[in-house]
Structure 1
Amino acid sequence: MRAVIQRARDAKVTVQGEVVGEIRDGFVILLGVTHDDTIEDAEYLANKIVHLRVFEDENEKMNLSLKDVGGDILSISQFTLYGDTRKGRRPNFMQAARPEQANTLYEQFNNLIKNEGINIATGEFGAMMDVTLTNVGPVTLILDSKEK
């Protein structure tokens, strides 16, 4: 399971012109699922993300976690994180999980975040979405559950 995490001042996701998810101050997470991912991968990433210390403390040092600052998460499913661009000009998405498996793990990941007491908004799985955000820092990190 892969996650691209962006610290955001604000963010929203729209589907066909309608806002379906919106946050203030927190993370935008693009989450990709591959074939051999399990609930353990979702648990690892959810725990890691909630406790990442990338928010500034009173000394302007990145020392505080999402939980410490009471931040929100906007979670977006993103199968293209498993796009392989090594050959040709068109990405190969064979490493992305089938939609049924990916959606199940995406929902489990989101529930794990909720269980941590974090406010979470989501996009619409499988839909064409427009995501807008104000990236703070900018702080952007990539996590992969297979690279523990």
Structure 2
Amino acid sequence: MENRQRRPGPNGLDGAAGIGHYAGAVDAAEDTVAHRWKDIAIAIAAAAPLAIAVVRTAAAPTVQAVAHASPETAAHVASDVARAEPMMRRNARRNFPGDHWSQDDDFHNQERVLAGALASRYGLDPSEVFAIIDADLRRQRDPHRESGAAPCKPRPFYD
């Protein structure tokens, strides 16, 4: 019997027993095909979220231009807010007695909700409603309306 050394195949293995490097070549070809499919699967997995994002962006509805408030509409919005403000302040004081910081937070949350409702009612952007409120407060028509906020300070306790 001849003493033949086995030569490793291209993938570093010698293949099946007694076949030599030819089995390694078949394994290498199969490994290359498997490697290709693996690379394709990785590329698809990486590209799929991007493709979904592009399709969703292209299919998204466009933002409609919001009309600006006429002086009459601005006056209605300002008077609605001025009428609602005392009640919102009372609710905030009742909800958070003695805690001015939380009262302001609660009041401004109520104001945010009201601004959203008024924006929907009059077909305005909420930022425009806040601009109307700001302009109305700067006119200083009513000295009882507050345009400030309690200073930010740490609480003595945290729940």
What TM-score, normalized to structure 2? 0.26
Q: Which has the higher contact order (CA 8 A, sep 6+)?
A: 1
Larger Rg: 2
Greater strand fraction, Structure 1 or Structure 2 = 1
Greater helix fraction, Structure 1 or Structure 2 = 2
